[in-house]
Structure 1
């Protein structure tokens, strides 16, 4: 005689179509490994690629995803010969999956920090203003104090970094603190999750490649350079308004020949291989000039155009490793402020 299935076991497979989800029902049905598999398939865009990364067979990954869709009563992916694409329902589930997995990472950090007192993992988001001076110096200070802490640096615009921080994918964002930065976030809940901490003000200066003939000029006017090709920040960057004002104060429009870029490597490559002129954050320009990678022209650039600092979540305490990095950022920021 077939034994009756208990309600708990029945709930562990799938809910009847249309039945409402609850935190208890999801906790019974979902497995954390399924979320990891789902995330890797989303990141790679392919079940085959995800199975290789996770050292699993493709049928095993496909079966797990099929079970996940049954448990959620919804289609997560549209499958094709080229890979998989998230459905609208899948995108909704992805947003919550990222938060759950980020919290698991924070839990692992806290447990490791409690047990060892000197280890952990900090994920930092940054852009050009901080990535050339402030962040490297802070990381160097941190590594001397706690060499076992792992630092992961992710580069991107604030419009990407701030929402990632609010979701818990980053521990801290280091760089420009723009006015109205919270408008880059999706809703009021995310806006209230972030705290911005300024460290110092940043100015800009005009730079060229080290071998540029302009380096031999003792006196220069902005009008002398206006017709040249310029590297300027992208229009959505915080610095763009200050750059436009810089030219307008001299009665000039924005140059016609421009490359809009906030990529350090691209800008340095252009400066080294051409006669292009660039506007660059002062702290970064001085660091590169000391390394012999560029020259700073005797031309007064825009004054302080932004505050540089860091942004953290306000609704959760930083891990021990993150707190050590924040202390190192304060020390490095204080030194940079005194040097200017």
Structure 2
């Protein structure tokens, strides 16, 4: 059976796609029915109708729920884009109506999750309190494809390969400030109060470093090279802030962290930045947009506050650079 744009427009219902997407998200017909406040038979009927439209099975059923078939994966990819466009329409209509509502879905990396993004959201809500901000945490290799599909509106964090401002492929990168890496320990660590640490004192310690597939891995390598250290043999690879913080508080480990992130925990009295006097570059922190999509009014509000907060973070990092730091 051949399909065309018009034939699909006549037969498909957006509600069917929304139900299909919820089943994929929750992993079962029952869980989707609860999330949608629908009966289980109604959800099953919608899925069966969608399968009948294409003459293909969308799911395989098992004891633990449902799993997408190969055709189901194909349909999900397009359903995400269609539903994202519907959300953009709703946001634009809401913004047109009152100018201070809508939704922004933000993909965030560790480099922006502790200071840049929280401050920007707080500042935006001072003038647009009804904008809903949904945060998705991940790495660039996950978030950039979601950005292209419209699942997220903007990705905030470390830009790939020190990307300067401009468009690369279908992505537009906008740097806000240059970030550096620093070594941190728990506030009560034996080295926390040492005003002059030789990097070689850290050689045999256990380290927490970024995962190898993350954009920060190359910066970690450069850090050890600048310090004259070989890559540690005892290490944990993690980009989870909460996991890294707990590891530091429960052990004598040393962690590599973006300076702006570490400063937040220093102010909270949890961590101490080791005074290694190293200005090891972490890269450029900023945001990335999909070049072929115009940001919604709500997204534009967030971008404006990202620029404002980014400038203040840039000045703070200059003031707390290794040459002036006394911790």
TM-score, normalised with respect to structure 1: 0.89
C-alpha contact (below 8 Å) 2:162/2:284 kept by paired residues: no
324 and 204 in structure 1: CA distance in 2 versus 1, 3 angstrom threshold: same
**Secondary structure, counterpart of 2:161 in structure 1:** coil
Q: Deviations over 1:188-218 (max 9, x none)?
A: xxx7432111111100111100111111222
Where in structure 2 are there 5+ consecutive unaligned residues?
319-327
1:196-211 alignment runs, 5 A limit: 196-211=173-188
User: Is contact 2:181–2:223 with CA below 8 Å preserved after alignment?
Assistant: no
- Structure 1: how far apart are the matches of 2:245 and 2:39? 44
Counterpart of 2:191 in 1: which secondary structure? helix
Cross-structure match for 1:225: 202
**Matches of residues 93-132 of structure 1 in structure 2 within 5 Å?**
93-132=75-114
Could you tell me the TM-score, scaled by structure 2's length? 0.92
User: Helix, strand or coil for the counterpart of 1:292?
Assistant: coil
The aligned counterpart of 1:186 is: none
Q: Report how many aligned residue pairs link the two structures.
A: 314
Give me the whole-angstrom Cα distance separating, in 1, the residues matched to 2:288 and 2:193: 41
Instruction: Name the counterpart of 1:139.
Output: 121
**What is the distance in 1 between the residues matched to 2:276 and 2:315?**
22
Name the CA distance, whole Å, in 2 between partners of 1:149 and 1:335. 23
Partner SS, residue 280 of structure 2: coil
Aligned: 1:55 with 2:68? no
Q: Is the 8 A contact 1:138 1:329 kept in 2?
A: yes
Where 1:279 maps in the other structure, the secondary structure is strand
Q: How does 1:38-77 map to 2 (within 5 A)?
A: 38-77=20-59
What root-mean-square deviation, in Å, do the aligned CA atoms of Structure 1 and Structure 2 show? 1.6
2:210 and 2:27 map into 1 onto residues whose CA distance is 32
Tell me which residue corresponds to 1:306.
283
Moved over 4 A (4+): none
Moved more, 137-146 or 89-98: 137-146
Q: CA deviation at 1:101?
A: 0.5
d(CA) in 1 for partners of 2:234, 2:289: 38
Larger Cα-atom Rg: 1
Distance 1:206 1:301, change over 3 A: farther
In the alignment, what sits opposite 1:79? Answer: 61
